[in-house]
Structure 1
Amino acid sequence: MIAVRDAEERDLPAIVALYADDELGATREDPGEPLAAGYLRAFAAISADPRTRLVVVESEGAVVATVQLTFLPHLVRRGGERAQLEAVRVASSHRGSGLGRELVGWAVEQARARGCVLVQLTTDVTRARRPPVLRVARLPGRPRRHEARPGLSSPPRRRGVSSAGRASRRPGAAAGRGRSGPAPPGRAPPAPAPAPSG
């Protein structure tokens, strides 16, 4: 059992250092002290929001993991609230120990206790390798429902179907009404369209 607590302002340097401790965070975070003012403003907003929790896990007095948990009101599923997990990070010294699995499991239980109907986990699909936390999220009895990807505003088209929903024409294949060539055996050819009057 891990000991999880809400983050305090004094934890910010350690949290930002966790964010910077991977191949993507190293290029977009700035763990240098004093911390950028944006981190302080964001932490103040998170702390003041009753629907958001930023938590940490400590080991021997050091922050070794963190996650941000947000409870989102939603109209779907009969207005059921959903929980969103973001910025799951584990210190490199503790990766592979199962800490990430425990932390995500803790967050799922928080959502269950609150009555959430759905838990969703965000991650960056541009990572060089899929982070272990994705495997953590696929717990027994909780199958993956969907995976959101940035830049996809509509579902991919089905093969052989045009954007208008009609079957795409292929060379040498019939295209439905108005096709040329003889009618199939036992079926009369279609009647010609009436000539325009006047």
Structure 2
Amino acid sequence: MLTGLTFRLATPEDLPEIISMLADDKLGAAREKKGLSVKYLQAFEKIQQDPNQELTIAELNGDKVATFQLTFIQYLTYEGGLRAQVEAVRTHSAYRGQGIGTRVFEYAINRAIEKGCHLIQLTSDKKRPDAIRFYEKLGFRCTHEGMKLKLS
């Protein structure tokens, strides 16, 4: 049981640890920059000002152990439905394998329900087979074929 695990919205003071978690694997290390750049600060400011964005920190007994971002997307289909997109999910490498990821998703799913979403979705790089298996274990299914076009 993970007693002491709490969730809260991130603050600017959390950014160095969030960036560190994002960069703490092979794929993240190739795309993230170490340190707190102006671009990270500008992005955080935009996220913080947007009521449809939540950048969340999970803490265990005061240690920052996980992070994720929820985006609430309003659209016309499903009779004007609302969906949640979960991205940038990371558990600190020192805390993996302890059930924190499961608790993170329980929290994210409950937030989506509270906001009135009918669906929660995510993408995962195909180079992360362990993450994909984890998401499938939680009940996520590959129901659509995702496509991306890299612009820069």
The TM tier, using the shorter chain, reads: 0.7 to 0.9
1:59 to partner: Cα distance: 2.3
Q: Give the partner amino acid of 2:11.
A: E
Please state if 1:25 is matched with 2:28: yes
Flag the 1:98–1:14 CA change in 2: closer, same or farther, 3 A.
same
More strand by share: 2
Flag the 1:96–1:69 CA change in 2: closer, same or farther, 3 A.
same
CA RMSD of aligned residues (A): 1.9
Structure 2 gaps of 5+ residues are none
1:133 to partner: Cα distance: 5.8
CA distance in 2, matches of 1:53, 1:134: 25
What's 1:39 paired with?
A: 40
1:132 to partner: Cα distance: 3.0
Q: TM-score, normalised by structure 2?
A: 0.87
CA distance in 1, matches of 2:133, 2:77: 24
Matches within 5 A, 1:167-186: none
Q: Which has the higher contact order (CA 8 A, sep 6+)?
A: 2
What's 1:149 paired with?
A: 146
Q: TM-score, normalised by structure 1?
A: 0.68
Identity %: 42
1:71 and 1:81 in contact (8 A); partners too = yes
Structure 1 gaps of 5+ residues are 153-198
Flag the 1:92–1:147 CA change in 2: closer, same or farther, 3 A.
farther
More helix by share: 2
Q: Which structure 1 residue ranges, 4+ long, deviate > 2 Å from structure 2?
A: 59-62, 131-139, 147-152
What's 1:48 paired with?
A: 49
Whose Rg is larger? 1
CA distance in 2, matches of 1:61, 1:92: 16
Flag the 1:14–1:121 CA change in 2: closer, same or farther, 3 A.
same
